[in-house]
Amino acid sequence: MGKSQQTYSKSEKEKKRLKRREDKQKKKEARRAEAKENGGGIPMAYVDFNGNLVDTPPDPTMKVEIEAEDIVLGIPKKEEGDEEEFDPVRTGKVSFFDTSKGFGFIIDTENQEKYFCHVSGLIDEITENDKVTFELEKGMKGMNAVKVTLVK
């Protein structure tokens, strides 16, 4: 009695295994058939003249011919006399400087703008009404005077 019970469950497992294999094969064939109907593969995408992805091929009449030697790689060289050389050094007068706190203000002689100046940006020691040269650097609250030197 125990022996027939065991063979029955074995044959039952074998039947289930074969059925699963058959189902898997059917699903595989169904996927293949569906892919053939839909054209299969990856849908085509084209890039238009502005670099955007589109689903239509580009119009060949809008093609622009470019000569290889016309393509410039890197930064174009500046020609002599293109623009006058920008001088970063400005001149000004110390309107206020507190040595104990280590900061002050310089008024630019060209545009009368007032620039903040910190002791860390000084090259020479300065006091009020000194004539100075300086360069500008972007600070947290606007432009700061740096590389401040006395005009002797």
Which CATH number goes with the domain that contains 117?
2.40.50.140
Domain presence at residue 31: no
Domain presence at residue 64: no
d(CA 82, CA 149): 31
Domain presence at residue 95: yes
Domain presence at residue 105: yes
Q: Which residues of 95-108 are buried (b: 16+ CB within 10 A; e: fewer)?
A: eebeeeeeebbbeb
Does 63 or 141 have the greater pLDDT score?
A: 141
Query: 3 in helix, strand or coil?
Result: helix
Compute the mean pLDDT over every residue in the chain, rounded to the nearest whole number: 84
Range of the domain at 133: 90-150
Domain presence at residue 10: no
Domain presence at residue 104: yes
Domain presence at residue 121: yes
pLDDT at 140: 87
The structural domain count of the chain equals 1
Domain presence at residue 123: yes
pLDDT band at 79; cut points 50, 70, 90: low
Give the mean model confidence (pLDDT) for residues 17-37. Answer: 89
Please name the residues in contact with 107: beta carbons below 8 A apart, sequence gap of 6 or more.
92, 93, 95, 113, 114, 115
